[in-house]
Amino acid sequence: MFTLSAKLTFHIPQSASLKDKRQVRRSLIEKVRHKFNTAIAEIDTQGVHQTLTIGIAVVSGDGAHRQNALDEIIRFMEGHAEAELMAVEIIE
């Protein structure tokens, strides 16, 4: 079994409150869960209304597949988020 995780940091310039951030977070997490059925959650910066930090975990029986799956999820999030992807940290 192979696992791979990532920490993604987004900037939400249009967010004026934590409520605005929550709407962006919910939308993005639901889209990713629906399309990829992966573990995903907000992991940091909960009290900062213009910064969203999300953690993703991928488990696979094949090492190459886990990397491909994670890359696809990150590309999807970058294209479907109502925020700008600022940083990606891959954790093996």
Provide the domain count of the chain. 1
State the CATH number of the domain containing residue 54: 3.30.70.1120
Strand, helix or coil for residue 90: strand
- Give the pLDDT confidence of 73-90 residue by residue, as tens digits: 999 999 988 899 999 999
Question: Model pTM greater than 0.75?
Answer: yes
- Give the pLDDT confidence of 27-75 residue by residue, as tens digits: 999 999 999 989 999 998 888 989 999 999 999 888 788 899 999 999 9
Nearest Cα neighbor of 30 from 18, 40, 20, 43 is 40
Task: Please provide residue 82's backbone torsions phi and psi, each rounded to the nearest 5 degrees.
Answer: -90, 40
3-state helix, strand, coil in the chain (%, to 5): 40, 35, 25
Strand, helix or coil for residue 30: helix
**Domain of 28?**
2-91
Nearest Cα neighbor of 70 from 57, 53, 89 is 57
